[in-house]
Chains A and B, each alone.
Chain A
Amino acid sequence: MSNGNGQSGLVKWIDERLPVFTFMQHELNDYPTPKNLSYWWNFGSLAGFVLVVMIVTGIMLAMNYTPHVDYAFDSVERIMRDVNYGWLLRYIHMNGGSMFFIVVYIHIFRGLYYGSYKSPRELLWMLGVIILILMMATAFMGYVLPWGQMSFWGATVITNLFSAIPLIGEDVVTWLWGGFAVENPTLNRFYSLHYLFPFLIVGVVVLHMVALHTTKSNNPLGIDAKGPQDTIPFHPYYTMKDYFGIGVFLIFFAGFVFFAPNFFGEPDNYIEADPLVTPPHIVPEWYFLPYYAILRAFTEDYFLYVPISWLMSAKLAGVIAMFGSIFVLFALPWLDTSPVRSARFRPIYKQFFWLFLINCFILGVVGAKAPDDQVFTWFEGFQYVHLGQITTAYYFFHFLILFPLLGKLERPKPIPKSISEPVLPGGGTVAAGAAAKPMEKA
């Protein structure tokens, strides 16, 4: 059956009519990948893996879930108690959402550190931002489905954000709800869209992959591969590395699923939704906390809002800032004026990168706290709303002022001539004494 290429007759017959095997050979086997990728490059394929896990567990859960305000909460409890392995499916799906965001946030910060958004990868980056936005919409709607108190009040607060739109805001909110409050029509449509959106994500992921395989992977040095000596085939080198990463990740994931399944959850969501009682403290899921902090940073009486108070209400300003904090990522390839990709060769940017990361963590903490709480017991009068204002200001300062300025002011370190140069004398070209001399650290 085999021919010269190691393909069976059937494979060849199919491939001549529909070149799926050639395609897979090119994109998954031969695909030339920079040979210096670190473990930070595992998180892209890891995110793809989590997406598949979420879709599979989600389809199974949908077989037992009832999208109706009178039955939704009970149907989830039935999944937990009566459906065979229902508890496992739900805990995987529930924690999988958090895992997805952990993986994707690491993937994004990897891109920020190594300048993966810069030419020629602008569209690759922007498709990634679209995936992030779709993920956030999907996660938000999915969180509403169990119809607990946090589901209901989270949905109420977030849909009410749209009422800040001038003139048509109220009509938009009524349209989103399909009624005059979050009710059964809202739950139904969220269920429908929660099922749809992951497949939209799959579609954009395919485009993300096409863009990746066109521009090729970035690498820790942030320089282009100069030739075959700088790359290795994707299979088996990176398939194996990715599998190993998945193994490590699964230990982490399973730790939560089996030993702390409600670690990321809110206890209030095990109370059935009650439209007449607001829980005393509404918090979104952890992955939304920084955006929630930005939303709440705009209040009538504080400095962040004052310069724009003539233009719009504080509520609208908060909503615009919250959405702006994500949409600014679309402009990043043009905001960053430095031609050097990797922070390894940008001594000043490197420090600001870590400062930005810390700032994002602080925003997350602020999002989890009540605005009026004191930040320090020993420093009277400094409340979380103040800390939120400072960190929100820094967030936008980093993107809108620091990125354009740093590219002009910073003096980058010398960049190696090729990926091979720092480790192989002569850049690994031809013989280059590759075997003769031991590798040297650059």
Chain B
Amino acid sequence: MADAAAAGGGAGHDEDVTRRDFLYIATGAFGVVGTAIALWPFVDSMNPSADTLALSTIEVDISGVEEGQSITVKWRGKPVFIRRRTQDEISEAESVALTELPDPQADEDRVQKAEWLIMVGVCTHLGCIPLGQKASDKKGDFGGWFCPCHGSHYDTSGRIRKGPAPENLPVPQYTFLDDTTVRIG
């Protein structure tokens, strides 16, 4: 830089070079930041749109579900499992020691009413739908759900017990509006 200043007109002109450098870098930086900001709308346009987000709550009538039965409802394009658990299933889910679980979570943290297990029926491995909703389905080694794609076994609380899935079946936000209606989302 000193050489350039000297060639540009002798000593005492270092200031000119510094200012030019500053302007050059500042302009460049401004351009880069500006381009990055201008890019954001393009990236964000691929995120869920307002109408997709607007479809994100549903109300479900669960009055017709008997003990030991399950229903599947579609929420945000995904199946939600709603199971009215039997007393055996509840006590089995509650009796498991947390140390035995790959993703430790107590049964009471996964339900609002012990009778009703509500969770997103999407395997946490790679997104297949586990079997176990129908009485005739294979339910896996722990009597809950079984994912046929890569062999993950879930228990009666929807917790992962065996296989490649890393996490329990997720519990969505939901509220009981009354005894027979639940709002999901």
Contact = CB atoms under 8 A, between A and B. Distances in A.
B97 interface: no
Kindly list the 4 A-B residue pairs having the minimum CB-CB distance in the complex, ordered from nearest.
Answer: A181-B77, A180-B76, A160-B127, A278-B128
A180 B120 CA distance: 12
Contacts of B72: 276
A219 to B, nearest CB: 44
Contacts of B128: 153, 156-157, 278, 282
B10 interface: no
B143 interface: no
A189 B166 CA distance: 29
A427 interface: no
A299 B49 contact: no
Prevailing SS type, chain B contact patch: loop
B47 A175 contact: yes
Interface of B: 43, 46-49, 52, 56, 72, 74, 76-79, 102, 122, 125-129, 148-151, 163-164, 166
25 contacts: A156-B127, A157-B126, A157-B128, A160-B126, A174-B47, A174-B48, A175-B43, A178-B49, A178-B52, A179-B76, A181-B76, A181-B77, A181-B78, A185-B52, A277-B129, A278-B128, A278-B129, A281-B148, A282-B149, A296-B164, A299-B163, A313-B166, A315-B164, A315-B166, A371-B151
Interface in A294-308: 296, 299-300
Given A179-B76, A189-B46, A314-B166, A280 B148 contact: yes
A47 to B, nearest CB: 31
A276 B149 contact: no
Contacts of A134: none
A180 B76 CA distance: 6
Contacts of B77: 179-183, 275
A161 interface: yes
B49 to A, nearest CB: 7
Contact of B48 (A160, A178, A182): A178
A372 interface: yes
Given A157-B126, A179-B77, A276-B79, A372 B151 contact: yes
A89 B100 CA distance: 56
Interface in A173-217: 174-183, 185, 189
B127 A180 contact: no
B74 A299 contact: no
A160 B128 CA distance: 10
Contacts of A160: 125-127
A157 B76 CA distance: 17
A296 B163 CA distance: 11
Given A178-B46, A180-B56, A276-B129, 15 more contacts: A160-B127, A177-B48, A179-B52, A179-B77, A180-B48, A181-B77, A185-B48, A275-B77, A275-B78, A276-B72, A276-B74, A278-B128, A315-B125, A315-B164, A372-B151
Interface of A: 153, 156-157, 159-161, 174-183, 185, 189, 275-278, 280-282, 296, 299-300, 313-315, 371-372
Contacts of B129: 276-278
Contacts of B149: 157, 278, 282
Nearest to A153: B128
Nearest to B147: A278
Contacts of B163: 299
A281 B72 CA distance: 21
A95 to B, nearest CB: 27
Contacts of B47: 174-175, 178
A402 B77 CA distance: 47
Nearest to A298: B164
Nearest to A183: B77
Contact of A275 (B79, B150, B151, B166): B79
A337 B34 CA distance: 45
Contacts of B49: 178, 185
A174 B43 CA distance: 12
A314 B164 contact: yes
B134 to A, nearest CB: 11
A278 B151 CA distance: 13
A179 B48 contact: yes
For B77, B122, B126, B150, the residue with the greatest tally of chain A CB atoms inside 10 Å of its CB is B126
A318 to B, nearest CB: 8
A275 B48 CA distance: 18
B164 A300 contact: yes
B102 to A, nearest CB: 8
Nearest to B76: A180
A280 B129 CA distance: 10
Nearest to B133: A276
Contacts of B74: 275-276
Contacts of A177: 48
B72 to A, nearest CB: 6
Contacts of A180: 48, 52, 56, 76-78
Contacts of B43: 175
